[in-house]
Chain A
Amino acid sequence: MRASTRIIAGIVAAVLIAAAVAAFAIAWRPAIAAIDPPDPQSFDTALVKRGRDLAAIGNCSDCHTPRGAKNFAGGLPVPTPFGTIFSTNITPDPETGIGRWSEAAFRRAMRSGVNREGQHLYPTFPYDHFTNVSDEDDRALYAFLMTRQPVRAAARENQLSFPFDQRLAIAGWKLLFLRPDAYRPDPKQSAEWNRGAYLVEGLAHCGACHTPRNALGAERVSARFAGGDVDDWHAYAINDQSRSPVPWTADALFTYLREGWHPDHGTARGPMAKVVSNLSSVPASDVRAIAVYTASVSGTPTSGRTGPSDDALARAKMASQTNPVGASIYTAACASCHEGGRPLPYGGVDLGLSTSISSPDPRNLANVVLSGIDAVEGERSPIMPGFAASMNDDQASALLNYLRARFSDQPAWADLKKTIADARRTQAVFLQTSPAPRNAPADPQQREKP
């Protein structure tokens, strides 16, 4: 975080504390009575199954099951500008999990970010989206979670600095940013669109990554889906700011979300890999609805993007002349796969179609070039070797500059060497802590005919 934002954050925080103290009365929430953990057999099987699909759409396991840990037992450190928050145990363990939560307590947590004891929850738990989830779906999610294997795992203490360690402050945050019951179906749109809107804005919480956040960590409503940050990756703009060389369509989104890749866009990786991996197991109709709605909010792309530009050849020539080192690295290290003529996702996307190269933010490209794409255990999945060990910062930045100049019509990135140095550091951490699979287990049934 830059110094200026830190100052602003401090001032705002101080104001917020004052407001929060004043608002103590309205901030207080009662505890909801503890219950004896319900018998897993008491839940309807169909309800549990629906809950499982919903949990996959909500990507619950991504935060609540760190790599190598027990399912849903929590403990994932989530770095925020205010400190580190650890995900909690949502298994039905009565002591350390949510075993003593009634359905009402669970629903309140989803709806307004308050735990059974009445404490406010940090919005890393995205209740600003989950508030839109229907009672019926909360019931299914509750049934699913309460029938999981209970795991005894106490929550880890959050590491937050004052004043952010004051849960009371969260009440103020909610006053400013939480809009319960804001979601309303649009009767002018199709049922499919509305289903998609309900999921995207609610349980799937796409905006949590794809919308930029303000100084207080809330999504900026005015810049909805304009691209955000997550785990040192850039979550691309999925509104009209998208830099995807080929505009996204509902069909393309459906394939991408369902199978983890699309020939016009490449392979999901970084934090998105887990999302598409989850979506591969849910009903196709829900993924289709998400795709339809997302395509409609993408709107018409800006800057007249219609596909790879015609002057690509001229650009390639120019790029080679001005950056011969980058060009020869590309030829030797990248082109053998990316121009190998093999169908996606295993052949490597045509880099002219790569959003990471057109994106204003070079981090994703740096991440992928340095760390590659690891194999998914025992499943068909794209593999790309990482080049962190074989390229120094100068070589990597020559390569990235070359790719940018050759495969996009965008201006050169600034501070590329710093981005690369940072990516070297942060990716090492990301790859060690992020939940498996780190990449999408794409299993395409289709093949381009010769």
Chain B
Amino acid sequence: MTTLKVNGREHQVDAEADTPLLHVLRDDLKLNAAKYGCGLGQCGSCTVIVDGKAVLSCVVPMVLLEGKQVTTLEGLGTIAEPAPIQRAFMEEQAAQCGYCIPGMMMRAQALLQKNSKPTDEQIRAELEPHLCRCGTHMRILRAVHRAARLMDTADALPAANGSAR
């Protein structure tokens, strides 16, 4: 049994040390947002936040997570009470099939936590590890800009370090 802190809660997880975080999140904790896209660190669909940084959960084994805080999209907000980044993606209708979107949102969230006013160029550079096949890129960029504006409105700050819910 390993202890894993996800979205502010501690979980006892029965997974071997080499199990990638992605499978623990999906299989043991029944969380949906982090997606399996390639398992090779090439597409970004599995991105979550660990200690404030965006990481590819498909290539991060449990052994690296001791004492660290994991935040997934579920930890940011809900349909009823969406976090700014979630509101922004809803308001911009920034999805087609939407499969890649949670990963994009987590990387954007990590960016906005350390840089509340990123330039368009910075957002593009940050999202470089992420693939979208539907071609929703223009909306994704708009949504990240919108999220930056929403976060800027003082109290809108979300559970930055995974303490939501």
Contact = CB atoms under 8 A, between A and B. Distances in A.
Interface of A: 325, 328-329, 331-333, 336-337, 372, 374-375, 383-385, 387, 389-391, 395, 432
A310 to B, nearest CB: 28
Nearest to B110: A389
Contact of A385 (B18, B56, B61): B56
B55 A390 contact: yes
Contacts of B60: 333, 390
Interface of B: 17-20, 39-42, 50, 53-56, 59-64, 125, 128-129
B40 to A, nearest CB: 7
A384 B56 CA distance: 11
A372 B129 CA distance: 11
Given A328-B18, A333-B59, A389-B55, A383 B64 contact: no
A328 B17 contact: yes
Contacts of A395: 64
A375 B53 CA distance: 21
Contacts of B17: 328, 332
Contacts of A374: 128-129
A329 B61 contact: yes
Given A328-B18, A331-B18, A333-B64, A385 B53 contact: no
A246 B55 CA distance: 34
Contact of B20 (A329, A332, A383, A432): A332
Given A331-B18, A332-B20, A385 B59 contact: yes
Nearest to B18: A332
A390 B50 contact: yes
A100 B47 CA distance: 53
Contacts of B40: 337, 383, 385
Centre residue among A372, A374, A390, A432 by max chain B CB count within 10 A? A390
Given A385-B56, A385-B129, A390-B60, 18 more contacts: A325-B63, A328-B61, A328-B63, A329-B61, A332-B17, A332-B61, A332-B64, A333-B60, A333-B64, A337-B40, A375-B42, A383-B42, A384-B41, A385-B42, A387-B59, A389-B50, A390-B55, A391-B64
A364 B111 CA distance: 27
